[in-house]
C-alpha cells in the first residue's frame, strides 16, 4: 500500500446512512471530487473491502478527513 498523502479529502459520514455501500460511495465521490486518479481510488477500495465493517471505517479514517 502506498503512503497516504497528508492532505486528505473531506468526507461527511456522520449523520449519513452507515451501511458499507453508502460509506464506500461517499468515499468514492469524495476521492473523485479531490481529483484522485483511478489507481489511487482502486487502492482505497481494495484496502477498504479487504476486511470487515470495522476495517472499512478504519481505512476510511486513514484515507479521508471524516466528519
| DSSP element (H, E) containing 62 | helix 53-63
Indicate the pTM of the whole model. 0.86
pLDDT band at residue 43, thresholds of 50, 70 and 90? very high
Task: Tell me the average pLDDT across 42-64.
Answer: 97
Residue 31 has a pLDDT of 97
Can you tell me whether residue 11 is helix, strand or coil? Answer: strand
Q: Are 11 and 28 in contact (CB under 8 A)?
A: no
Average pLDDT, integer, range 22-46 = 96
3-32 per-position pLDDT tens digit: 554 689 999 999 988 899 999 999 999 999
Rounded CA-CA distance 17/42 in Å is 22
Q: Are 30 and 9 in contact (CB under 8 A)?
A: yes
Amino acid at each position: 500500500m502506498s503512503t497516504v498523502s497528508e492532505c486528505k479529502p473531506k468526507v461527511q459520514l456522520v449523520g449519513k446512512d452507515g451501511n458499507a455501500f453508502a460509506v464506500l460511495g461517499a468515499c468514492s465521490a469524495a476521492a473523485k471530487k479531490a481529483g484522485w486518479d483511478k489507481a489511487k481510488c482502486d487502492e482505497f477500495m481494495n484496502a477498504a473491502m479487504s476486511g470487515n465493517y470495522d476495517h472499512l471505517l478504519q481505512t476510511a479514517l486513514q484515507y479521508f478527513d471524516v466528519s
